[in-house]
Each structure stands twice: as structure tokens, then as C-alpha cells.
């Protein structure tokens, strides 16, 4: 993807990141990595391509590549004590979307207890959807109660799973 004369580099980076997310969802991790590398080259001060590339490599079990992207991220964001992409709400949301896309695309190779990451991200997305559904004024009292009960169930389920993951 080439940026034409007078093009907006930030918009081009956003487009590359979106295309990479779609590639991951479709099971094309190598294509996504190519797009992250392009975004990295064309937007050298944007930490998102580095963070997302690191996380995709982590999810795919590419340890050497993951370490290289972590180093590239640490050079741009020195002193970060978080995993790349987890230090702000904006990038954390992108990482969450990547985790879901990688799982749907079949490129996620995480095993116990790391699978908890997928469960955590999916439960957060489900909780957001349930909160949005509760805002619907057309719902009956019974439907609202069912959504609230589902939220409580999912929250309790995730607490139990977190405890089990810690015990392993």
C-alpha cells in the first residue's frame, strides 16, 4: 500500500492496522505481520504497529519475533513496565480486538494458562455488549433481569477461572 503525494500518514497507518486485523481474523498472520511492518516503517513514532506486532507474535508462538518487536517497542516507549499495548486504554482495546481476531482466525496457539487471556478479552467484549443491550428501553423487565443475571454469571465464571489459572 503506497501513500500518495499529500496523503495523510496517520490515516494510512490506521488503514494498515485495520487491514492487519482483518488478515488475522482471516487466519493470515504473515500478511498481518507484513502490514504491521509497513505501518512501522511509514509511521516510525506510532507505537501501535510495534505493540500489535509483538502481541500477534506472542499469540502465534513466534518467540524470537516477539522479542524483537518488544525491543523495538521499548526503544520507542522507554521505561514501559507493561506489555506492549497494555499501557493505555486505546491501545489495550486494539490488543483485545487482536486477541479475538487471532482466536477466530485460528492463529492463536496459546495453551493453559495463557488461554485465560482470550477468555478475559472475550468476557470484556461480552460485558460491553450486555451493558449496551441493557440500555435498550424496549426490553421487558424480564429481559433486563436475564441480561443482568448473565452479566453476574459471566463475572463469577471469570473469577473462578482466574483462580484456577493462578493455581496451575
Q: State the total domains in the chain.
A: 2
Give me the percent of the chain exceeding a pLDDT of 90: 37
- Whether the Cβ atoms of residue 82 and residue 54 lie closer than 8 Å to each other: no
Q: Which three cell numbers stand for residue 143?
A: 429481559
Comparing 83 with 56, the larger pLDDT belongs to 56
1 and 49 housed in the same domain: yes
**Which pLDDT tens digit goes with each residue over 86-133?**
888 899 899 989 988 888 888 877 665 566 677 777 777 777 777 888
pTM for the structure as a whole: 0.72
Residue 22 pLDDT greater than 90, yes or no? yes
Domain that holds residue 70: 1-110
The chain-wide mean pLDDT, for the chain, equals 84
Do both 19 and 100 map to the same domain? yes
The grid coordinates listed for 90 are 486505546
Residues 69 and 55 in one domain: yes
Same domain, 16 and 36: yes
CA dihedral 39, 42, 45, 50 (to 10 degrees): 30
Whether residue 68 is preceded by a cis peptide bond, meaning omega within 30 degrees of 0, is: no
Amino acid at each position: 500500500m503506497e501513500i500518495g503525494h499529500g496523503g495523510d500518514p496517520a490515516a494510512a497507518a490506521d488503514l494498515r492496522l485495520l487491514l492487519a486485523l482483518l488478515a488475522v481474523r482471516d487466519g493470515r498472520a504473515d500478511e498481518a505481520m507484513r502490514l504491521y511492518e509497513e505501518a512501522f516503517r511509514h509511521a516510525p513514532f506510532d507505537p501501535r504497529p510495534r505493540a500489535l506486532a509483538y502481541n500477534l507474535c506472542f499469540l502465534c508462538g513466534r518467540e524470537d519475533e516477539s522479542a524483537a518487536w518488544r525491543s523495538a517497542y521499548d526503544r520507542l516507549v522507554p521505561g514501559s513496565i507493561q506489555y506492549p499495548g497494555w499501557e493505555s486504554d486505546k491501545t489495550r482495546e486494539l490488543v483485545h480486538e487482536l486477541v479475538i481476531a487471532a482466536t477466530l482466525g485460528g492463529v492463536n496457539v496459546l495453551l493453559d494458562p495463557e488461554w485465560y487471556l482470550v477468555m478475559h478479552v472475550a468476557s470484556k467484549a461480552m460485558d460491553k455488549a450486555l451493558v449496551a443491550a441493557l440500555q435498550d428501553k424496549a426490553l421487558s423487565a424480564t429481559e433486563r433481569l436475564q441480561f443482568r443475571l448473565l452479566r453476574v454469571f459471566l463475572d463469577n465464571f471469570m473469577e473462578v477461572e482466574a483462580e484456577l489459572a493462578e493455581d496451575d
